[in-house]
Amino acid sequence: MPKKLTQGRLLLLLLAIFLSASSQQPDPRAEVRSFRYHQHPEFFRLVLEIEKVREYYSAELKDPERLYLDIFQARLKPGLHGTSYQVHSNCVKILRLAQKNPSTVRLTLELVPGAKQTEKIYYLKNPHRLVVDIYPRPAAASQAPPATAAPTSRPAGQTASPPEHQPQPPAPSSSGYSLVRQLGLGVKRIVLDPGHGGSDPGCISRSGLKEKDVALDLARRLKVLLETQGKFEVFLTRDTDLTLPLEKRTALANQKRADLFISIHLNASPRKNRTGVETFYLNFSPDQAVNELAARENASSNKNIRDMKLIVDKIIKNSKYEESRDLAEKIHKHLLQHLKQNFGPRDDLGVKGGPFWVLIGSEMPAVLVEASHLSNAKEEAALKTEIYRQAVAVGLFRGIMEYVKSLGKG
């Protein structure tokens, strides 16, 4: 006769079943199943077939020139780890694929020196594919090989001799060679300002998502990218949910002797279908919508009317105007471009001057970025996800890096 299950034995049996089930949880990583590439007449394309859409980060490195792509929460199909291929392309020399760590897959493309103009990285569906398109400069494109050769395996570690690094002269901004460029100045220290904080929540979405919390998370992500990839010194005006007066934010940047000041915000509009990016530098504006936004962002100021003359004088004497506008234009371009490529159409709300308190008094180029809209249902939902927030940080990072490179220091 089988023994009758007592309450204690039944509990032990249920516990054993639970532990067995929990130990067999599905692997959360998406499998990278295959990859292929082809030299099109206008660009080089590489396609990674992946089990699910996963967050990724890309960056460029020098000596030798290469582009790498890290795919998070991913694993390589057995047999793909450590593969390396020599490529006959006008802009790509070598491809390498590796399991960087248990949860990250790294794709590395060693580039033909000086041949790459830009790249586009995006997902396609049915099946899920991560696509990397490398567009060459016109001179390199004219030298493209007639056809793509079959991939030739190349032992890992064999790379071309790195080219010598030569200092590059700065490029002019949209208004010419400012004093910053004439003197050959560069960027070493950056202050990031997460908008609002503490008793000032900023704008709040319909579901209760607060601008102050999202802005802080974006600033922290951007700080990591600037420190690890750009090798800058980076400070935050606040790293907690702290109430911080507007005028103290640029004062802190001045105390830190920062070279750049970037204030990160999220937008809101009565038009719920409005999306996209809007970027500002310090100036007066005849635009009623800009002045309305400035009034909203400046609401927490504790200055009085008697301070108006001093404030107006500071705006008029703003000697960083040219560089601030150039920085704003580059950040705006890259952030909008990166979000469009990865998440679909976005409104280009432009780069504008505006009388924002948080930019007044800065002793360095300073911009304010309205990165997305909490008032738009789709962008609000996206801002709740890790992948979208990281994409915003990457877009901001790329804009900053283009600005630094334009000074001849990148």
Query: What Rg do the C-alpha atoms of the chain give, in angstroms?
Result: 25
Query: Which tokens is 238 given?
Result: 């606040």
How do residues 43-65 score in pLDDT, each as one tens digit? Answer: 899 999 999 888 888 888 888 89
**CATH code of the domain made up of 179-406:** 3.40.630.40
Helices (H) and strands (E) in the chain, counts: 10, 17
CB-based contact 148:39 (threshold 8 Å) = yes
In the predicted structure, residue 199 carries a pLDDT above the cut 90:
yes
pTM of the complete model = 0.58
Instruction: Give CA–CA dist 293/290, Å, rounded.
Output: 5
What is d(CA 244, CA 191) in angstroms, rounded to the nearest whole number?
A: 15
Q: Spell out the residues 6+ positions from residue 405 whose beta carbon is closer than 8 angstroms to its own.
A: none
Torsion (CA) 211, 214, 220, 222 in degrees, nearest 10: -90
Measured at the CA of 63, the angle between CA 60 and CA 69, to 5 degrees, comes to 25
* Identity of the residue numbered 409: K
| Omega of the bond leading into 78 within 30 degrees of 0 (cis) | no
User: Domains of the chain: which residue ranges?
Assistant: 30-153, 179-406
Give the Cα separation of 114 and 206 in Å (integer).
48
Identify the band that residue 144 occupies on the pLDDT scale cut at 50, 70 and 90. Answer: very low
Cβ atoms of 322 and 267 closer than 8 Å:
no
Cα distance between residue 264 and residue 249, in whole Å:
12
pLDDT at res. 284: 46
Amino acid at position 137, single letter: R
pLDDT at residue 94 tops 50:
yes
Question: Which numeric CATH code is attached to 30-153?
Answer: 2.60.40.3500
For tokens 């998370």, name the residue. 217
More confident residue, 173 or 49: 49
The pLDDT value given to residue 10: 59
Is the pLDDT score of 368 beyond 50?
Answer: yes
- What average pLDDT does range 320-327 have in this prediction? 85
Cross-strand pairs, 353: 281
Residues 67-82: what's their mean pLDDT?
88
pLDDT of residue 318: 45
Is the confidence at residue 292, as pLDDT, over 90?
A: no
More confident residue, 135 or 7: 135
Facing residues of 277 across strands? Answer: 348
The pLDDT of residue 319 is 45
> Using CA atoms, how far apart are residues 366 and 174, in angstroms rounded to an integer?
17
pLDDT of 321 reads 74
Mean pLDDT over 124-152 rounds to 66
pLDDT given for residue 9 in this prediction? 65
Query: Reduced to 3 states, what is the DSSP secondary structure of residue 41?
Result: coil
The total of other beta-carbon atoms located within 10 Å of residue 166's CB is 5
| pLDDT value for 350 | 94
269-282 pLDDT tens trace? 999 999 999 999 88
